[in-house]
Each structure stands twice: as C-alpha cells, then as structure tokens.
Amino acid sequence: MRPTGRLHLGHLHGALRNWVRLQDEADRCFFFVADWHVLTTKPEATESIEQNTVEMVTDWLAVGLDPDKVVIFRQSAVKQHAELHLLLSMVTPTPWLIRNPTVKEQARDLGLIRGESEQEVLTLSYGLLGYPVLQSADVLIYRATAVPVGEDQAPHIELTREIARRFNHLYGPVFPEPQTLVTEAPRVPGLDGRKMSKSFHNAVWLRDPPEEVDRKLSRMMTDPRRVRRSDPGEPEDCPAFRLHRIYCTAEEIDFVTRGCRSASIGCLECKKIMIRHVIEDLSPMAARRQPLEAEPARVHETLREGQERAQAVAEATMKDVRQAVGLPA
C-alpha cells in the first residue's frame, strides 16, 4: 500500500479486513509500505512519505494486523527489491508495459497522455511506465504463491506471471507463478456518491472521531428523489444505502427500505442507523491506535523487525537469481 495519505473506509473494506483474515489462513504474509511506488506518480512529493508511513502502519496495527503473525516492512528498506527490479527489466519487453491498461489510466489521471498511440505513452517517465515491473519484483522476491488484489489490479498479477515465465524460460525455474487472489470487497461510496477516494475529498477517515463521522455521514448524498421529507425514494439509487448494505443487519435494511419507499422515515433518520454501526466499528481501532500514537517507537520497531525478516527471505531469493543469471552470488 502506498503511503500517500490517511486511510479511509474504502481501504478498510477493500483491503485491510481481508489482510487480517489472511494472516490467520496463510502460512506466511508480507505486507509492505510501497514508498518507492509513491515516486512513480509524484516524484516531487517526498516530504510527507515518512509521516504517512508511520500513520499508515499505525492504522494497520489498529485494524488488527499482528506483527507476530505477518511481516510488515518498508519497501525501500529491502534493497533486494531494486536489484530484482533491475534484472527483471532486462527481460521484460516494452510492449508488455505499453499495453497495460492500468498504466494508461494512471497516466491519463495525471494528465500525462491524452490518446492511445504508443508515442504518447512513451512520453511517460520510465518509472511510471515500468512500475508494474517493480510490482513484479515486489511479489517474486518472496516467491509468493498468491497476491490479494482488487479486480482492477488483476492485470498486474498476470503480467507478473508472464515475467516469471519469461525469466524461468531464460534462466531456469526460480520463481513460482503467483495466483491472483481477487478480494471480494464492497464498493464503498464516498460522501458525494462517487467511489470513496483521497483525491475526491469525500472520505470518512479511519482516524475520524465519532462526532466527525456523524457530521460527515449525516450530510452524505442520498436519493435525489427525496427533495422533501414526504417524497418517497428508492434505496437502490441512494449512495448512503450502500453503506447500509455493508454495516446494517437484515432487519435494519428491511426497515429503512420500506421507510424510504413509503416516505415514513426521513433520510437523516435512515442514515443515523448506519452511522451508529460505523462509529461502533471504528471505536476499537481508535482504542488500539491510542497507545501506538503515544509510543511511536513501537511502530518503528515493527518496521525494523519486519525489515530483517523480509531481507532474509529476499536475499535467499536473490542468491538463486544471481546464480541462475550467471552473476556473482
């Protein structure tokens, strides 16, 4: 996860809850702060990486990741990622990167390209065009067998599999081909009805106190049909109702569905039911976060210990890689 700012409900339901589940199901999990990846899109925005890293890892621990069960570390602290990235870049054909739909989408979002031609794509920085190769190194350095991602990231895992096959074909069987472990995650709406996102400024942060959560969600966009309290609405067209689907019981969902369609309850009354659950969900995280913020050295120690564990695995992989390529081990 890139340290680009605070985490919100979308991160919680899109990734973190799945990570906590996986730490008890998988033999070994690696979760890292992708600080090098920040530079692929914002090479000038380095002043907040350190603060964002500490805050993000604090939130990971507050959500329930256990450093005794998983390896938590900074990408940039394990230099073997960069070494493997370099070697993989030597065997990765450029057209594989140019055709990657996520690279093009990110470039358009950044205003770097406007069309589809290869010439326009090639005006990107090497770091942005080649970041999927760095992602592949991030995965293959631990000889991962599966990677939990959302559907939009599935093409990157397929590219990782292609790169692993090409390397193995050229130098011998070093890497397994990781499987895509698609995360079944709800689409979390933002306060304005769009997808919850840092860039849209429509998020409920995991660090928001209860009164701020209440304030934000009380003003959340609802079904535009309900101009007046007496106007009936359709819950399926209400962004706030998607949070009801995530948080509320079946009985509560039935109650607000009938109340919305009959206009027997108002939008604020409806949202208050959901808001109570959101606050209750975030409350234990706040309690676990408090001592971590009071003693930030614990977070740094978690990263240091994770770095040592990650480096041991990464260096064992690189010894095999160097030997396979014909470089000094």
Average pLDDT score, the chain = 93
- The sign of the CA dihedral 199, 78, 303, 174 is positive
The predicted model gives 10-34 an average pLDDT of 95
pLDDT of residue 103: 74
Owner of token pair 């090497």: 126
The pair of structure tokens assigned to 128 is 């942005």
The CATH number of the structural domain formed by 9-188+296-325 is 3.40.50.620
The predicted model gives 207-233 an average pLDDT of 96
State the pLDDT confidence band at 22, using cuts at 50, 70 and 90: very high
Whether pLDDT at 56 is above 80: yes
Whether pLDDT at 19 is above 60: yes
| Torsion angle of the four alpha carbons 248, 62, 25, 308, in this order, in degrees rounded to the nearest 10 | 160
Q: For residue 144, count CB atoms less than 10 angstroms from its CB and return exposed for 0-12, middle for 13-18, buried for 19 or more.
A: buried
pLDDT of residue 123: 66
pLDDT of residue 114: 59
The predicted model gives 215-238 an average pLDDT of 95
pLDDT of residue 124: 77
Least confident of 10-19, 37-46, 256-265: 37-46
The residues facing 73 across adjacent strands are: 32
- For residue 59, give every residue at least 6 positions away whose Cβ sits within 8 Å of its Cβ, in sequence order, or none: 6, 7, 16, 206, 207, 285, 289
Report the C-alpha gap between 192 and 261 in whole angstroms: 21
pLDDT of residue 234: 96
Task: Please state the separation of Cα 233 from the chain's center in Å.
Answer: 34
Report the C-alpha gap between 77 and 65 in whole angstroms: 20
Owner of token pair 């190769």: 133
106 vs 61, residue with greater confidence:
61
Report the C-alpha gap between 194 and 184 in whole angstroms: 19
The pair of structure tokens assigned to 114 is 């406007």
Whether pLDDT at 224 is above 60: yes
The predicted model gives 99-104 an average pLDDT of 76
User: C-alpha angle with apex 190: 282 to 264, nearest 5 degrees?
Assistant: 85
Report the C-alpha gap between 208 and 282 in whole angstroms: 9
pLDDT over 90, % of the chain: 83
251 vs 103, residue with greater confidence:
251
User: C-alpha angle with apex 100: 77 to 4, nearest 5 degrees?
Assistant: 40
Report the C-alpha gap between 260 and 238 in whole angstroms: 10
Domains in the chain: boundaries: 9-188+296-325, 210-289
Report the C-alpha gap between 324 and 169 in whole angstroms: 11
Whether pLDDT at 115 is above 90: no
Q: Give me the amino acid identity at 286.
A: A
pLDDT tens digits, residue range 60-101? 999 999 999 999 999 999 999 999 999 999 999 999 988 877
DSSP H stretches of helix in the chain? 9-11, 17-22, 35-41, 49-63, 80-89, 94-98, 101-109, 118-121, 126-129, 131-140, 154-171, 210-218, 239-247, 250-262, 267-294, 297-325
Domain 210-289: CATH architecture, name and number where available: Orthogonal Bundle (1.10)
The torsion angles phi and psi of 292, rounded to 5 degrees, stand at -70, -40
pLDDT tens digits, residue range 249-278? 999 999 999 999 999 999 999 999 999 999
State the pLDDT confidence band at 120, using cuts at 50, 70 and 90: low
pTM of the model: 0.92
The residues facing 195 across adjacent strands are: 189
pLDDT of residue 213: 98
State the pLDDT confidence band at 54, using cuts at 50, 70 and 90: very high
